[in-house]
Amino acid sequence: MIEAKVTELESPRLELVQDLIRSNGHRITILLPPYRPGEQGKSMAGLLKIYLQDLSHQLVARRTPEPVTADLLKPLQELIEDEKFSGGARFGRAIFRSRDVFQQFELLGPVKAQCTVGSYFQIRPILADLHFPPEFYLLKLSKKRVELNRCANLHAEIVRLPKGVPETLDEALEFKQPDHDLENRSFAGASTAAIRFGTGSGRETQHAYLADFYRMVDRGIFELLHGGNAPLVLAGVDEDTAAYRMAHTYPNLLSRSIHGSPSGPWLEQDLLEQAYSIVRAEQVDRAAASLMESRDRLAPARFTTDLDTVLGAAADGRVEKLYIDESAQKTGHLPDGKSERRVQEDEDLLNVAAVETILHGGVAFALPPNKMPDGGAIAAAFRY
């Protein structure tokens, strides 16, 4: 057994999940939704306390020796007593426990409370998190100030723009006046007076200033991120986000924005949660597009929506990409030869397909029902 201790929380990563699903013995999966003090419902610690009783009964039913049961449940009992765990949490949590695994992940998306013991860890609820980029950027837009945040592991930190990049519209106006705003002199009698006028209306001139300002900011971000592929999310009122989109050149600016003034009544954590939701939604869209591309390119020879065919191909290591309806339920016994594991009880067969795919180096995605082809619960693209 491994030493029981509370480890630092992190977001799920594919390599960590590949390691934990290779573990042996009974596999316990616990999913806990976020909880804020004062909300209705039970806290994470309250739910886990209930689950410990249920787990004890399930393990007895599986004729698990008492010392093994005690060792399996010990780190979960200690987690209940941890002060940090007993407090509120803005994000959900997944806990995986087996003979040689005690792993916790913070979850980006919504999660329903769940506790299972089986021959496989229940990884379907965390599939979307596995494809989340390790970092992304949140750009708060305002004429009064722009601010760039680097977001990773459910936290955000301010990143300074390169030297010479204005952070306010006033600073931008000091650097350079737009070509479309001219300053002429009009002579009246013996005196002269400088008169500023634009080539368009006052509103058009204001838009031109704003476009120039955001063009400078975009150049700074492109330089800072080296034209990379980290997603960029905008937050601001519609006028500012629209002006920035017209001026930008950054290759991975996401199509969705956070609407509203970032200097308004937002809490920083609320902005962060909305930004994560946007990146998650974009990842789902890309996975759905990948599914349609795979079907059009590979069907029928290397693409199927038949569950039994998928299970056999996943166990053989032939599934390159797997797509699962996140809300579908398909339970039952595995047919002989569909897995090397000894399975005695009904299993979530869609989850089995996901585990076997990842074990053999494939990738698995969870999608909403409306993104699945022909209303199916599963689809797979084969390597050969």
Residue type, 243: A
Domains and CATH numbers, the chain: 1-130 (3.30.960.10), 136-286 (3.30.420), 299-384 (3.30.1330.30)
**Rounded distance, CA 58 to CA 351, Å?**
20
What is the bridge-based pairing of β-strands 347-348 and 27-32?
unpaired
pTM of the model: 0.84
Quote the pLDDT of residue 277.
93
Comparing CA positions, the residue from 371, 360, 282, 275 lying closest to residue 323 is 371
Comparing CA positions, the residue from 213, 219, 211 lying closest to residue 243 is 211
What is the bridge-based pairing of β-strands 363-367 and 303-304?
unpaired
Residue type, 47: L
**Rounded distance, CA 369 to CA 175, Å?**
52
Q: Which tokens in the block code for residue 108? A: 């980006």
Q: Which residue has the tokens 């409306």?
A: 370
Q: Where are the alpha helices (DSSP H) in the chain?
A: 14-20, 44-61, 66-80, 83-86, 127-130, 169-175, 202-224, 238-247, 268-298, 307-315, 349-359
| 17 to 83, 96, 299: CA distances (angstroms) | 27, 10, 30
Query: 181 has which bridge partners?
Result: 198
Residue type, 90: R
CB under 8 Å to 216, separation ≥6 — which residues?
Answer: 165, 166, 172, 175
Quote the pLDDT of residue 76.
96
**Rounded distance, CA 240 to CA 235, Å?**
9
Q: pLDDT (tens digit, 0 to 9) for every residue of the chain, 384 residues total?
A: 444 444 567 889 899 999 999 998 999 999 999 988 777 778 999 999 999 999 999 999 999 999 999 999 999 999 998 888 877 788 899 999 999 999 999 998 889 999 999 999 999 999 999 999 999 999 999 999 999 999 998 889 999 999 999 999 999 888 755 444 444 433 333 333 333 434 555 567 777 889 999 999 999 999 999 867 899 999 999 999 999 999 999 999 999 999 998 876 556 788 998 999 999 999 999 999 999 999 999 999 999 999 999 999 999 999 999 999 999 999 988 766 555 555 556 889 999 999 999 999 999 999 999 999 988 999 999 999
